Amino acid sequence: MDPTINLLRQLVAIDSVNPSLVPGGTGERAIAAAIESELRDAGLDVEVAEAASGRPNVVGILKGRMPGRSLMLCGHMDTVGVTGFNSPFDPVIKDGRLFGRGAQDMKGGLAAMLGAARALAESGGLAAGSLILAAVADEEYASLGAEALVAHYHADAAIVAEPTDLVIATAHKGFSWIEIVTQGVAAHGSRPTEGRDAILRMGRVLARLETLDRELQSKKPHPSLGTPSLHASLITGGLELSTYPDRCVLRMERRTIPGERDNIADEEVRAILDAVRADDDDFLGSAQVMFNRRPYETPAEHLILKALEAAVTKAGVPVRLGGVSFWTDAAILGYAGIPSVVFGPGGAGLHGAEEYVKIDEVLACRQTFIQLTRDFCSRP
């Protein structure tokens, strides 16, 4: 078996469920130890540092013999939960696919990164420049790992090896999570003059949110990401059947695209609340942004794009450009001054009950990273 695929099997067999997503989740310690061992064995200089208590990042550096550019290969070690997944940590190879939790998201990309680093180190190292291999924690929740990484490391460019089906993804969406609260007055259901229904008042907000979503999706789409959108994610309210509800809470998500203002979602929701308030002087509603991540687009003129296209071609992979709809750590790297591209092997079952990665794409990804590192880092 190819050593990179054997390593992938080992990584999938390690439980690294994010404890911020799933209470009691194992976290990244065990997989970080395995990656540290792999990098040290390959001859890289390695540093392990906690992004938060018990949540380590692992960074390996391969230095060239002469000055040159620096390239970062970045991937996350954590996975989502395993509810409904049969044998999540028992990697199985079948029909050219490797099955298991995290196989696609994103231990396939991690294995390709590690395999490339080992191949480069064992073939004489780099003539110039440096390779920074970063395995980070917590991407599936708050990206504590990537935030800690960019506080201490910099590179001339980066590849984030999330699953793209070997498409060179130059853009991805952002998102905002917003909590909206409407207030009512609790009263016995038989006394309508005393009660005010917070849920019905939230209905007015929901109707306007639906109208806004139609407007967003009717806009001119981004070339690779489509249109912005929103959805109502969670809603709670009410005390009991015979009582007017005094409070209703809606949590929603707004997906954003490059070119939109950073605070656009907050502005839109507050405008909706103002409009409802204008129709009803007694309306009480408020909103707050719970979490926000900006969309990202690789600078079109940056050399990393042409270098990656050339490396993909040399690896025997068709050059395809596009974007990914999900958010990635590329945004954190990019806004920290490290122009980034998302590129990794494909598969299926992202966050699903059955997940797999395509073995041939893991190997093609590894070869691309080898070629890219040699070419990009050797230039002044």
pTM of the predicted model as reported, rounded to 2 decimal places:
0.92
The reported pLDDT for the residue numbered 5 is: 98
The reported pLDDT for the residue numbered 88 is: 94
Domains in the chain, start-ordered, CATH in brackets?
3-172+296-377 (3.40.630.10), 174-293 (3.30.70.360)
**Within the chain, which residues score under 70 in pLDDT?**
380
Rounded to whole angstroms, the Cα distance separating 147 from 329 reads 9
Identify each DSSP E strand in 257-317 by its residue range.
284-293, 296-297
The reported pLDDT for the residue numbered 380 is: 66
**Which two three-digit tokens encode residue 157?**
């460019």
The reported pLDDT for the residue numbered 86 is: 86
Rounded to whole angstroms, the Cα distance separating 122 from 118 reads 6
Percent with pLDDT over 90 in the chain: 96
The reported pLDDT for the residue numbered 100 is: 96
The reported pLDDT for the residue numbered 349 is: 85
| SS3 of residue 165 by DSSP | coil
**Which two three-digit tokens encode residue 322?**
């596009």
pLDDT digits (tens, 9 = 90+) for 8-37: 999 999 999 999 999 999 999 999 999 999
Q: Which residue has tokens 């071609």? A: 313
**Which two three-digit tokens encode residue 176?**
């905002």
The reported pLDDT for the residue numbered 222 is: 97
Q: Look up residue 288 and give its amino acid.
A: Q
**Which two three-digit tokens encode residue 78?**
């954590």
